[in-house]
Amino acid sequence: MNQKVNEIQISYREKIGTLKSSPIRNSKDAAKLLYKNWNKNTIGLHETFKILLLNNSNKVKGIYPLSTGGITGTLVDIRILFAIVLKTLSVGILLAHCHPSGKLKPSEADKRLTDKIKQAAQLFDVSVLDHIILASDGSYYSFADNGEL
């Protein structure tokens, strides 16, 4: 049988050395870093979902923008999320999304998604350390700080 198949290439390249970065110690550190790296022109316009990827020392490997949606929601494909987590060999993640309304209370859909990701992460020995909801003024809500993780 002489069939050709596609070659699969998986890569992760660091532009900034992870070991030189400061560790994320709490939700304040995470929210500050996420807000600093969020597009201020769109944070109040539409929902965006990102993941903060961490090594075993909670040092930041990178931030990946997973999805961009509409005014009141965005779709998150968990398969793509874990493809990124596994490709970067991350052992910890923080979930983050913005609420253009400025309302920081998580919706039931936010809670269900967080639980679903947490359950899947256990299969890969990946820790979901927090889920942060950001508002356009930099204020935030932490699932971990509020006992919802």
pLDDT mean values, one per 10 residues, the chain (149 residues):
72 66 92 94 92 95 92 92 94 97 94 97 97 96 96
pLDDT of residue 130: 98
Taking the model in full, what pTM does it have? 0.88
How far, in Å, CA of 44 to CA of 85, rounded? 27
pLDDT reported for residue 63: 93
Per-residue model confidence (pLDDT) at position 21? 77
What pLDDT score was predicted for residue 17?
66
